[in-house]
């Protein structure tokens, strides 16, 4: 078995070590004897996305998101939208998450028309939402770091990736965090998120492996350091009693 990962816009979207998510997915596949190739797709390059099994998009500030608009209009935006609709597995972080939605209105009033691959939109505010946070998902409790001005609101048919335990998540108001639509996983969690949340990582890998090979389960790994890292961040967020 082998997964072909495409890292979209590594040249502009890579905040707080988001690239570490790609390394983690590759390692967790290799530890199980599953092959993995990583192809970087920067601004100005276009390839048929159907040749990949998993796409990764990292985070970026408003400025970097603005830089991508022309490149998305060159046809790549339509490729991404079609790949999501086709059930390709995606992991999108923060700025990359916002990009999958319909639009982003910055706190200075600029309006970016984004992909509309997922029915969601984002509106910025002057006060940023910053800090370590935790949320509950079907893959267990996820911990990470958020830093965004944008408040994201989900439309019909898009479910949240999780429910906020501590922190702000999508918008600081409705208790939701991230988004899930078909095999597209989105979160505000930087860090990078996957090394200390192995359950989430395996859930994402499994969605790609089951789409490609009908694979129903992954061989468990020891995950001692991963669990320690996860638990120590969780304790620092919720305190020793929880």
Cross-strand pairs, 184: 90, 181
Integer Cα distance of 215 and 115 in angstroms: 30
Q: Residue 124 or 162: which CB sits closer to ligand GLN?
A: 124
Integer Cα distance of 114 and 98 in angstroms: 8
Integer Cα distance of 36 and 30 in angstroms: 7
Cis peptide leading into 154, omega within 30 of 0? no
Residue 147 as a binder of ligand GLN (CB under 6 A): the answer is yes
Question: What is the CA angle 40-170-23, rounded to 5?
Answer: 25
Q: Residue 53 or 90: which CB sits closer to ligand GLN?
A: 90
Burial class, 171, CB count within 10 angstroms (exposed 0-12 / middle 13-18 / buried 19+): buried
Q: Residue 89 or 149: which CB sits closer to ligand GLN?
A: 149
Q: Residue 9 or 181: which CB sits closer to ligand GLN?
A: 9
Residue 10 as a binder of ligand GLN (CB under 6 A): the answer is no
- Pick the binder of ligand GLN from 5, 54, 88, 94 (CB under 6 A): 94
Q: At its nearest, how many Å lie between ligand GLN and the CB of residue 211?
A: 27
Integer Cα distance of 66 and 61 in angstroms: 9
Residue 200 as a binder of ligand GLN (CB under 6 A): the answer is no
Residue 226 as a binder of ligand GLN (CB under 6 A): the answer is no
Residue 62 as a binder of ligand GLN (CB under 6 A): the answer is yes
Q: What are the two backbone dihedrals, phi and then psi, of residue 158, each rounded to the nearest 5 degrees?
A: -110, 120
**Residue in 94, 168, 186, 201 annotated catalytic:** 94
Closest CA to 133 of 191, 183, 73: 191
- Pick the binder of ligand GLN from 7, 148, 196, 230 (CB under 6 A): 148
CB 99, CB 69: distance < 8 Å = no
Count of residues engaged in binding ligand GLN, rule: CB under 6 A: 14
Integer Cα distance of 1 and 239 in angstroms: 42
**Residue in 7, 92, 184, 190 annotated catalytic:** 190
Integer Cα distance of 5 and 45 in angstroms: 16
Among this protein's residues, is 190 annotated catalytic?
Answer: yes
Residue 167 as a binder of ligand GLN (CB under 6 A): the answer is no
Q: Residue 90 or 205: which CB sits closer to ligand GLN?
A: 90
Among this protein's residues, is 201 annotated catalytic?
Answer: no
Q: At its nearest, how many Å lie between ligand GLN and the CB of residue 17?
A: 12
Q: Choose the binding region for ligand GLN from 29-37, 47-55, 142-150, 211-219 (rule: CB under 6 A).
A: 142-150
State the catalytic residues: 94, 190
Q: Which positions touch ligand GLN (CB under 6 A)?
A: 15, 59-62, 65, 94-95, 98, 124, 147-150
């Amino acid at each position: 078995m082998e997964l072909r990962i495409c890292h979209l816009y590594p040249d502009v979207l890579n905040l707080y070590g988001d690239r570490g998510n790609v390394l983690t997915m590759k390692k967790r596949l290799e530890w199980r004897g599953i092959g993995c190739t990583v192809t970087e797709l920067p601004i100005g390059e276009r390839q048929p996305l159907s040749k990949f099994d998993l796409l990764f998009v990292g985070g970026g500030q408003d400025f970097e998101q603005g830089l991508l608009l022309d490149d998305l209009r060159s046809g790549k935006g339509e490729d991404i939208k079609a790949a999501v609709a086709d059930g390709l597995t995606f992991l999108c972080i923060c700025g990359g998450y916002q990009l999958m939605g319909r639009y982003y209105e910055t706190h200075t009033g600029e309006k970016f028309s984004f992909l509309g691959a997922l029915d969601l939109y984002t509106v910025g505010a002057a006060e940023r939402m910053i800090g370590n946070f935790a949320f509950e998902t079907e893959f267990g409790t996820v911990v990470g770091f958020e830093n965004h001005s944008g408040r994201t609101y989900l439309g019909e048919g898009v479910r949240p990736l999780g429910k906020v335990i501590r922190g702000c998540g999508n918008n600081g108001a409705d208790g939701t965090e991230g988004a899930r639509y078909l095999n597209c996983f989105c979160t505000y969690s930087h860090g990078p998120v996957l090394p200390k949340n192995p359950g989430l990582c395996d859930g994402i890998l499994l969605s790609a492996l089951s789409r490609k090979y009908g694979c129903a389960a992954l061989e468990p790994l020891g995950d001692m350091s991963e669990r320690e890292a996860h638990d120590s961040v969780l304790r620092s967020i919720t305190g020793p009693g929880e």
